A = this chain, B = another copy of it.
């Protein structure tokens, strides 16, 4: 029993619900769900767990000595940053899917985690279940990474695909994405390339070793892209190391049909990692969605307590 790690989950939206479900389905005896922190306790929940675990007090689980790991799935920079900082300072491991938080405060949160000897993991923040950070941290050790290039935003990829292949207008494609749950009510972070830029900053940190401010990413959105039938446009995020200088940019590119990225459609993500010895490695998968993201969260939980 002393080996059991208490878990507090912050946020019970689609990803939070999926993470709790996967945790319960996996039945890992070392994990014990102790708190689920939500804004509205009264709201009806689709998943099945002990209602006594529900709380709307975000402070109390951070002071529970039986909680060894905090899963932050609230999204947004605040109050998520306060929860994560406090958790790390209390000696608790943190797993998060929050790309805005990590892209903004990654450097200081990493330093905190190091100082308190706990894990800070966020594989789910980039590319859903595609093991990108895992690969950059855990493999390719003998390699110097020279380039990262990818489709990091599923919403815009869905919109661009529908416009190219079905001849939809931008507005029609956006509404279809919203109807299917791929785009939020306010899609500006996706459309403007900000979401992709945040993810690129996170990948670049693990590929090249340092944190680039999101504001330093050259960025163009897809507002003005109007592909002709058959033309393939993708919102490409790219980090290139040239003569020791690192350049990050996000913007729409017209791709030739011979480019493997041209065939990555709908809400899928793809990332190419180029290493001097490994050559080009390409990873493709669903970049978002409750279950893929929840799956990555669960992997991080298990990795953190190992």
Name the interface residues of A118-172: CB closer than 8 Å to any CB of B.
123, 128-131, 134-135, 138-143
Please name 7 pairs of A and B residues whose Cβ atoms are closer than 8 Å in the assembled complex, sorted by A: A18-B277, A23-B142, A128-B278, A134-B134, A142-B295, A279-B292, A281-B285
Contacts A129-B140, A140-B299, A299-B141 given; does A286 touch B291 at CB 8 Å:
no
A42: interface (CB < 8 Å): no
A284: interface (CB < 8 Å): yes
Q: Which listed residue, B23, B278, B294, touches A292 by the CB 8 Å rule?
A: B278
Task: Taking A129-B275, A131-B131, A134-B134 as given, write out 13 further A-B residue pairs in contact, using a Cβ cutoff of 8 Å, ordered by the A residue number.
Answer: A22-B142, A22-B277, A129-B277, A129-B278, A129-B281, A131-B139, A138-B299, A141-B299, A142-B302, A278-B286, A280-B285, A282-B282, A282-B284
Instruction: Decide if B283 touches A282 in the complex (CB within 8 Å).
Output: yes
Name the residue of chain B whose CB is nearest to the CB of A259: B263
Q: Which listed residue, B22, B142, B283, touches A281 by the CB 8 Å rule?
A: B283
Contacts A134-B135, A263-B263, A284-B260 given; does A279 touch B129 at CB 8 Å:
yes
Interface centre among A25, A134, A295 (most CB of B within 10 A): A295
- Inter-chain contacts of A279 with B (CB < 8 A): 128-129, 285-286, 289, 291-292
A298: interface (CB < 8 Å): yes
Instruction: Decide if A295 touches B282 in the complex (CB within 8 Å).
Output: no
Instruction: Decide if A25 touches B142 in the complex (CB within 8 Å).
Output: yes
A130→B129 CA distance, assembly (Å): 16
A260→B141 CA distance, assembly (Å): 29
**Chain A interface (Cβ within 8 Å of chain B)?**
18, 22-23, 25-26, 123, 128-131, 134-135, 138-143, 260, 263-264, 275, 277-286, 289, 291-292, 294-296, 298-299, 302-303
Q: Which listed residue, B141, B263, B291, touches A298 by the CB 8 Å rule?
A: B141
Instruction: Decide if A291 touches B263 in the complex (CB within 8 Å).
Output: no
Q: Which listed residue, B130, B142, B278, touches A285 by the CB 8 Å rule?
A: B278
**Would you list the 8 A-B pairs with minimal beta carbon distance, nearest first?**
A129-B278, A142-B298, A277-B295, A282-B284, A281-B285, A22-B142, A278-B295, A131-B139
Cβ of A304 to closest chain B Cβ, rounded Å: 12
A192→B294 CA distance, assembly (Å): 41
A264→B26 CA distance, assembly (Å): 34
Instruction: Decide if A294 touches B277 in the complex (CB within 8 Å).
Output: yes
A285→B271 CA distance, assembly (Å): 12
Contacts A282-B283, A285-B282 given; does A134 touch B129 at CB 8 Å:
no
- Inter-chain contacts of A281 with B (CB < 8 A): 129-131, 283-285
Contacts A280-B285, A281-B284 given; does A138 touch B141 at CB 8 Å:
no
- Inter-chain contacts of A135 with B (CB < 8 A): 131, 134-135
- Inter-chain contacts of A298 with B (CB < 8 A): 141-142, 277
A141→B134 CA distance, assembly (Å): 13
